[in-house]
Structure 1
Amino acid sequence: MCAAGRRWGRRQRALLWVMLLAAWEAAWGQLRYSVPEEMPKGSFVGDVAKDLRLQLPELSHRGMRILNKGRTQYFALDGKTGHLVTAERIDREQLCRLVEKCALRCELIVEGEMQVYRIEVEITDINDNTPSFKEIELEERISEMTAPGSRFPLPDAHDPDSGRNSLQSYELSGDEHFSLAVQTGPGGDQRPELVLAKALDREEAAFHELVLRAMDGGDPARTGTARIRVTVLDANDNAPVFSQAEYTVRVPEDVSVGSTLLIVTATDADEGVNGHVEYSLKKVSDRTSNIFHLDSESGEISVFRILDYEEGDSYELEVQARDGGGLFDAAKVTIIVTDVNDNAPEISMRSALSEISEDAPSGTVVALLHVEDHDSGPNGEVRCSLDGDVPFRLEKSFDDYYRVVTARELDREQVSEYNVTVRAADGGSPALQSSAVLALRVLDVNDNAPVFAEERYSARLAENNAAGALVLTVRATDADWGQNARVRYRLSEGRVRGAPLSSYVSVQAETGALYALRSLDYEQVRELRLWVRAEDGGAPALSSNVSNVSVLLLVVDENDNAPQVLYPPPLAPRWSEAGALVAKVVAVDADAGQNAWLSYELAKATEPGLFRVGLHSGEVRTARSPLARDAARHSLVVVVKDHGRPALSATATLQVVLAESVAELLAELGSAADEAAAPGEPAVSLTRWLVLAVAAVSCLFVAFLLLLLALRLRRWRRQQLLPPDSGALRGVPVSHFVGIDGVRAFLQSYSHDVSLTADSRKSQLPSVINALLPLAAGRWT
């Protein structure tokens, strides 16, 4: 009872250690399970979800899958239960012929966490194979001279099972002349030998029939048999002898098929049949026999098919030399296969992104790679790198796993798509390499404000335009994509002549087209300066200083204003010489530029040839000296034209009076005033003007008595010729009046010229003329 308790305690401690070891391995990313061979498909292997502490509802969301190493899928993951189950029936003897411990490895990929777990499943043996001999009918030739106690090797049986289920013992039955001895080889294998227990007598028995049994340790045990026929020969007292007990050869794995690897040699001192040696392979597996070939006569060992270092790096053969008398010798042959760099690295994408935002932080994982090279040593050492100058780098994750992460911030406006080439090269000479391409598209983020194509815009628009006329189109571009690059335009607030700017112009939000909302007048508005703002369609929308652009709209003048005549003073003394200044026609044009350039022409005159008009100055001068026969009053029609297209014009009618004396001048002026008076105007008005004129002349006579006072008065009169509130200019804006200084200068020079051309008797005329200027201006038509 106590012994049973102690055994149960040891079992509990062993189970506890196994559980602790499994928990430790699961914590470090590796799970270990054990399952017997030949289990049906779908058999339970292990509870992965429980061992990794994963909840069952999370399995589908995390994207878990099993990757088996090799071409055959031996295991699968049940997504409902989280159990690891078998995907195929597993034969341990087929997978692990020469391996004591048979283990299959697979990998669990958790895509949501970019995590890898290794799973190792040990395939335990069951007694499903019977020990068997390569030949079930054996023949031994033994000389009758063979001394008792001599040993003859027998073929050993082969059992693919392992452990207790493999070959355990041999038995011999059938004849008292022979017994069985089992020797233990260097590797612990059992080698049966036939022992001659009693001397043979060919005359007594030429043949002996024996049965050799091989048994394994299964429960129940399995047994295989071979029949041995012993032929008794005449004496042969020399056995073959190999030149060396062990042969070793090193060959590269790329050796051509049919090449001779080595030649074994054995000699026999006998002659004839007893000295003829034949070679054979003993204790060789089916796999080895398919690779190498031994010539029974020459002892040449050649390669039968292509070697592969990755399948096997060394082979051991046992060569037996037997003479014609049945004597033999054995030698061991070791063939070492050296690795050749014949496998390029293999790159596989375990998990990868296809899209990434351009504002992803540095270090973002975009792909998980696995790199493997089946060669060994330096030929299997792999170095990974990325081609080109890309904003990514490689980080080693776990054993042969690498992660591709961002090395710096991305900019979709510079590069919108990447084809990242991952290159793997081994350490062979020459090195073999392979590559894989990761296609990655960069998603846009609204990180660029609109930018106008020009720093400033300007346009010219003729005045009197139609309402809604297109002025110009501003254009801004946004380096972003999609909605983030959709640009909208709006007009900044402002005022023009007290009115909102939006009542003058508007901008189309989608196209940036700028329209004039009203007809513009150059004489009122010469230019419009405004600001247009551009915003993108991001959330939030972006705009910056470069999103505002200045637009200057220049109003171009049109010839829509005819010249206006201000006043022409029509006075001339009869004694004037040719070229004397009579009057100056002063006109203004509200337009600008060429449309305001004026020219003067004499269209009609009472006395042709007596007067002429300056083309650009508008000065009316005498073309010749007046004659006595010339009439006292002359009517001149002066046409004023601008240079617009078409040209606009205005006419001015001048009444020029030629007088010899003041009385004659007053009479002519009075007559002209009466003729120019409107119908029904009271005669009292004309009389009042005449009385005022006479009073003015009387005052001038008194003034001339005081010479000094007269000089001061004349100076004062010159300064008061055109006062600011003169009725002749009332209603004309100062900004539109052109040439007023010229008019004042003309009046002063005209008065001065007349004064210099008159004698002392007629020196009163300039004062009279100055006094009558308001009258002439008021009556001018």
Structure 2
Amino acid sequence: RGERWRQRMAVRRRQRRGPGSGRALLGAVLLCLWWRAAAERVRYAIAEELGRGSLVGPLARDLGLSADELPARKLRLSEEKQYFTVSEENGNLYVNERLDREEMCGESASCSVSFEALVHNPLNVFHVEVSIEDVNDNSPAFRKPILDLEIGEWTLPGARFPLETAQDADVGSNSLLAYQLTKNPSFSLALKESTDGSKQPELVLERALDREKQSSFELVLTALDGGDPVRSGTVQIRVSVTDANDNPPMFSKSVYEARVAENLPAGSVVLRVRATDADAGTNGRVSYSFGNVPDGVLALFVVDSDSGEIRTAGPLDFEEKSKYIFGLEARDGGGLNAHCKVQIDVTDENDNAPEITILSLSSPVPEDAPTGTVVALLKVRDRDSGENGQVSCELSGETPLSIVASSGGSYKVVTASALDREQAAEQRVTVVARDRGRPALWSSTELVLEVSDVNDNAPVFSEAAYSAYVAENNAAGALVVRVQARDADAGANGRVSYWLAGGSAGAAALVSVEARSGALYAQRSLDYEQCREFAVAVRAQDGGAPARSSTATVRVFVLDRNDNAPRVLWPAAAPGEAPGAAPAPFEVVPRSAEAGYLVAKVVAVDADAGRNAWLSYELVQASEPALFRVGLHSGEVRTARAVSERDAAKQRVVAVVKDHGQPALSATATLHVVLAESLQEALPELSERAAGAEAPAAELQFYLVLALALLSALLVLSVALAVLARLRRA
């Protein structure tokens, strides 16, 4: 063990020579101890007072990360005060600022800095602890530069006089180790070990004093520590030889103890010490004062020099220091003194609420993230102790998240159920940390987590089926109907385009759909008489990958327009007659016919539909207008009165057929009526009609024969002229 101690001291001496030599001997200086426990903890040990940039240890390598993984894993530290930094290039841990062990940990025997190392992709946390080892950078120091003692000349040899103790801020072997006194035949130095292990220097009188020979002495007390090199501090002792004060004060206890709660108001009595002196008068009057105590004690406590009451001078904080040990001195009027120890234990009160630190927040998180995905990493700390420092965390409100305790006061916020961006694009959750004190203290912080979209919704049409009505004879490119589908997703996942996806036979040639707007346009003019209705399927597709789609049916009804005139089926039109005119058949009506006799029925049809195809009949011309009438809707031609002998044998009746369109279209029908009792009686009339009809035909035949004769004569003449011409050449 002694050999290892000398080696460590040699390494520390070489460290102080400068950063150049320290870098060369870095492996010997840094005592890096690491291991992986159940909580994934990495430990290192370094000496205090190392310069900025000094290597602590290969953190990335110790965490199992290679240099190639560092950019993607994003290694970083979470410590609140940046004592250390990690290199993004090699993952090594370096000192970021000067570390003073005495400033950081005070009188504590051990000193370390703990923090978390965060690694992403996947997210993980490692606990890192760096132990700060003491170097001998503080010399022993006395509170006063000069110590005055008064010793009576009657004091017998062997008497002991307690001296002021020195304080050394270092710990371990670097702390106070020994005292030395300048040589003097009248005095020597003795060390008295207290119950707490500290050594109290005492001045021992070796021989009787004679004030008449020498009334004062000047000595030097040197305090030495155990560092390498050794550091020291001195105090000058001035001894005055006096008369007659032969009883020093005596404390009732060597150690006074008290327990007080933190946050005690200033001026509160902590305890009272008491010392008595058997002398009388001035030599027996005792006053109290602090011994050589740190400045921190003087800032928190005061002692009444007359009563010995110790009161608080400032606020006590258990979290900063839970125990104070210091010395008190009782001095009589003759200069004799005595010392005692005071130990004050500060008890904890629940005066610190838990502190929540967000170490990492993964936002946004995709809505299809599986249950149990870590979205946030928290650190919760309560500076109190015991139950006052035991913390529980929970999430307030209804949320698809839950919080899971991890090691070392860390908590993970994970998904507890599926996320749905369409229902909530943002998750706001409050983390509440509560301790177990009475009354309990709590704190909270809000986490805002954005949910990113995935293509999990197909477009939805506003209607499952659409109906459109288009009048026939429309212009090509006319708007038929506009369909609309909405997609609850965002961005490209919610951008909808439209396509035709089948339908009735030939329907794809009749309409087209605009991809962006969903508008259906007619490709050509529609004809009600050819196609009265048809259906097409329209598919709405989003821009996701893979894309999602849905289909709606559009049924198009073609509306009729009055674009067809009525067509007369009977009487049928005769060849050569004008369009719309009916033929002239003969109907025989007996002269004995009474009113209402059915003469004939005009039959007509209209290719249109609805009102455009409703037909009505009207008599517009007749040889005897009063003799006939026609049914308005039936088209039946009947006698309006009884036939008389005065009525002409041949009658001509003209009827018009109209539809109910806007405007109305019409056609006419002509009917010839012969008034006769029988067919034989009507034949002469029919023959005259036939002869009259044959005359134009005979005249036409004559002209045809004449034209043929002329053509034959021209042919014979041409042949004769050709023969004559040949004979002439011969």
> Are 2:97 and 1:91 aligned?
no
Deviations 1:736-768 (A, max 9, x none): xxxxxxxxxxxxxxxxxxxxxxxxxxxxxxxxx
RMSD: 3.2
Deviation at 1:34, TM superposition (A): 3.3
Contact 2:32 2:56 in 1 (8 A): no
Q: Which moved more, 1:562-571 or 1:625-634?
A: 562-571
Cα–Cα, structure 1 residues 80 and 367, in superposed 2: closer, same or farther, change >3 Å?
same
- 1:533 is aligned to 2:539: yes
Contact 2:32 2:46 in 1 (8 A): no
Q: Tell me the equivalent position of 2:630.
A: 613
Counterparts of 1:23 and 1:296, CA distance in 2: 53
Match of 2:173 in 1: 164
Instruction: Show the 5 A alignment for 1:722-733.
Output: none
Q: In the alignment, does 2:322 pair up with 1:313?
A: yes
Alpha-carbon distance between aligned partners in 1 of 2:619 and 2:229, rounded to the nearest angstrom: 148
Tell me if the contact between 1:143 and 1:326 (Cα under 8 Å) persists in the aligned partners.
no
Contact 2:426–2:450, Cα closer than 8 Å, also in 1: yes
CA offset digits 1:380-416 (Å, max 9, x no partner) = 1121222333323223333222222222333333333
Unaligned runs of 5+ in 1: 9-18, 685-781
- Which residue matches 2:56? 45
| 2:347 matches 1:338 | yes
Distance in 2 (CA, whole Å) between partners of 1:347 and 1:668 is: 123
For residue 380 of structure 1, the aligned residue among 373, 377, 389 is 389
More helix by share: 1
For residues 510-659 of structure 1, the aligned pairs below 5 Å read 510-543=516-549, 547-567=550-570, 570-659=587-676
Query: Which secondary structure state, in structure 1, belongs to the residue aligned with residue 672 of structure 2?
Result: strand
Q: Could you tell me how far 1:49 is from its partner in structure 2?
A: 4.5
Alignment of 1:66-145 (within 5 A): 66-68=77-79, 71=81, 73-145=82-154
**Aligned to 2:196, what secondary structure does the other structure show?**
coil
Aligned equivalents of 1:293 and 1:20: distance in 2? 43
1:682 Cα offset (Å): 9.5
Is 1:230–2:239 an aligned residue pair?
yes
Question: Displacement of 1:472 after TM fit?
Answer: 0.8
Q: Distance in 2 between matches of 1:279 and 1:678?
A: 168
| In 2, Cα distance between equivalents of 1:627 and 1:111 | 118
Alpha-carbon distance in structure 2 between the residues aligned to 1:79 and 1:63: 8
1:142-157 equivalence runs, <5 A: 142-157=151-166
**The residue matched to 2:682 in structure 1 has which SS?**
helix
Residue of structure 2 equivalent to 1:765: none
The alpha-carbon distance between structure 1 residues 675 and 309, as it changes in their structure 2 partners (threshold 3 A), is farther
2:268 aligned residue: 259
Matched-pair contact (CA < 8 Å) for 2:589–2:677: no
Which letter does structure 1 place at the counterpart of 2:111? C
For 2:239 and 2:465, locate their aligned partners in 1 and report how far apart those are by CA, in whole Å: 116
- 2 CA distance for matches of 1:81 and 1:312? 39
Q: Which amino acid aligns with 2:181?
A: L
CA gap of 1:372–1:27, structure 2 versus 1, over 3 A, is closer
Distance 1:23 1:285 in 2: 36
SS in 2 for 1:130: coil
Q: Distance in 2 between matches of 1:354 and 1:678?
A: 106
The structure-2 alpha-carbon separation of the partners of 1:322 and 1:507, relative to structure 1 and needing over 3 Å to count, comes to: same
Shift of 1:315: 1.4
Deviations for 1:431-468, whole angstroms, at most 9, x for unmatched residues?
Answer: 33333444433333333222221111111111122222
Task: Give runs of aligned pairs for residues 51-450 of structure 1, distance below 5 A.
Answer: 51-68=62-79, 71=81, 73-173=82-182, 175-202=184-211, 205-236=214-245, 239-240=248-249, 242=251, 246-268=255-277, 270-450=279-459
Q: Which runs of 5+ in 2 are unaligned?
A: 8-29, 572-585, 702-730
CA contact under 8 A between 1:473 and 1:513: conserved in structure 2? yes
Tell me how far apart the structure 2 counterparts of residues 668 and 566 of structure 1 sit (CA, whole Å).
Answer: 26
Structure 2: distance between partners of 1:459 and 1:678: 61
- 1:130–1:223 Cα contact (<8 Å) kept: yes
1:33 equivalenced with 2:33 (yes/no): no
- Cα distance 1:486–1:249, how it changes in 2: closer, same or farther (>3 A)? same
The alpha carbon displacement at 1:675 in A equals 4.8
State the distance in 2 between where 1:134 and 1:144 align.
28
Preserved contact between residue 42 and residue 86 of structure 1 (Cα < 8 Å): yes
Shift of 1:537: 2.6
Q: Which residue of 2 aligns with 1:739?
A: none
Structure 2: distance between partners of 1:467 and 1:382: 76
Cα deviation for residue 270 of structure 1 reads 5.0
Instruction: Give the alignment of 1:431-510 within 5 angstroms.
Output: 431-493=440-502, 496=505, 500-510=506-516
CA distance in 2, matches of 1:89, 1:678: 139
Contact 1:111–1:351 (CA under 8 A) maintained in structure 2 = no
Q: For the Cα contact (< 8 Å) 1:26–1:52, is it kept in 2?
A: no
TM-score w.r.t. the length of structure 1 is 0.77
Q: Please tell me the residue identity of whatever aligns with 1:308.
A: D
Secondary structure in structure 1 of the residue aligned to 2:288: strand
- What letter matches 1:230 in structure 2? V
Paired with 1:37 and 1:534, the residues of 2 have a C-alpha distance of 70
State how many pairs are aligned.
661
In structure 2, give the amino acid aligned to 1:608.
Answer: P
Kindly tell me: are residues 520 and 670 of structure 1, through their superposed partners in 2, closer, same or farther at Cα, counting changes over 3 Å?
farther
Q: Matched residues in 1 for 2:504 and 2:92: separation?
A: 78
Q: 1:376 to 1:674 in 2, by over 3 A?
A: farther
Query: How big is the shift at 1:639?
Result: 1.9
Checking the alignment, whether the CA contact within 8 Å between 1:175 and 1:208 is kept in structure 2 is no
Q: Are the counterparts in 1 of residues 162 and 338 from structure 2 also a CA contact under 8 Å?
A: no
* Per-residue deviation, 1:182: 1.0
Match of 1:641, as an amino acid?
Answer: K
1:330-353: per-residue Cα shift (whole Å, max 9, x none)?
444332222233323222233332
Change (3 A) 1:434 1:318: same
Amino acid at match of 1:343: N
Alignment check: 8 A CA contact 1:174 1:209 kept? no
CA contact (8 A) 2:588 2:682 kept: no
When residues 62 and 192 of structure 1 are mapped into structure 2, their CA distance, relative to the original with a 3 A threshold, is same
Distance 1:240 1:641 in 2: 145
Letter matched to residue 513 of structure 1: A
* Residue identity in the other structure for 2:567: Q
Q: Give the Å deviation of 1:207.
A: 3.3
Residues 508 and 681 from structure 1, CA distance in 2 versus in 1: closer, same or farther, beyond 3 angstroms?
A: farther
Structure 1 residue 113, shift from structure 2 partner: 4.6
In the TM superposition, what is the alpha-carbon distance from 1:680 to its structure 2 partner?
1.1
Question: Aligned partner of 2:362: which letter?
Answer: L
Question: How far has the Cα of 1:185 moved from its partner?
Answer: 1.0
Residue 147 to residue 387, structure 1, CA distance change in 2 (3 Å): same
Percent identity between the two aligned chains: 55
Q: Which amino acid is the alignment partner of residue 637 of structure 1?
A: V
Secondary structure at the aligned position of 1:56 is classed as coil
Secondary structure at the residue paired with 1:379? Answer: helix
